[in-house]
Amino acid sequence: MRGSRNVGWVVAACLVAGMAGPLFAAPAPPAPPARSAVEAALNRAGEQAGSPAPIQIVLVADKKDHRENEHDYPLWQQRWALLLGGKTASGAAQVNLFGPAIPDEKAFAGAENVTVAQASGWPTDEQFESGQVIVAFCYLAWNDA
């Protein structure tokens, strides 16, 4: 009993000392690297990475079932198809979901080596076979098949 009471006083004393100020000074953060060093590292990483492997993405959406600006599945599908696959994957006029269109033509180029297929309601057997990634933004009618 007596020993546990002393421990309590030691803990209380440490807490009070901690409130008075830090017991240990934190080390100063390192200086940020020069911008040229960061750019050089990014350039080296890009040269080493090479081109990404081709990938087929299937975007699954269904009919819009909410009010305006809420869960617009077809709009999501069109704009993400444009963002990922470029103009050949979608007829959308802008990549962002809401707000003014982004005028930068690079936004309409798509990602390198990415092709996008769009499925309505459920992917076809062919889309299941060819797609490495299937993304669904809607309620799907799951079944055993």
Task: State how far the Cα of 132 lies from the Cα of 9, in Å rounded to an integer.
Answer: 62
| pLDDT digit string, tens, across residues 68-102 | 766 788 888 888 898 888 887 887 777 766 666 76
Q: Name the residue with tokens 């209380």.
A: 12
**Structural domain contains residue 101:** yes
Is residue 34, in this structure, part of any structural domain at all?
no
Does residue 129 lie within any of the structural domains? yes
Question: Which run of H or of E encompasses 14?
Answer: helix 2-20
**Domain enclosing residue 91, as ranges:** 55-136
- Condensed to tens digits (0 to 9), the pLDDT of residues 88-143 reads 788 777 776 666 676 667 767 788 889 999 999 889 999 999 999 999 987 777 77
What pLDDT sits at residue 130? 93
Rounded to an integer, the average pLDDT of 11-16 is 51
Tokens of 43: 């350039």
Contact 104, 129 (CB under 8 A): no
SS3 sequence of 27-60: CCCCCCCCHHHHHHHHHHHHHHHCCCCCEEEEEE
* 110 is a domain residue: yes
When divided into structural domains, the chain yields a total of 1
41 part of a folded domain: no
pLDDT at 119: 93
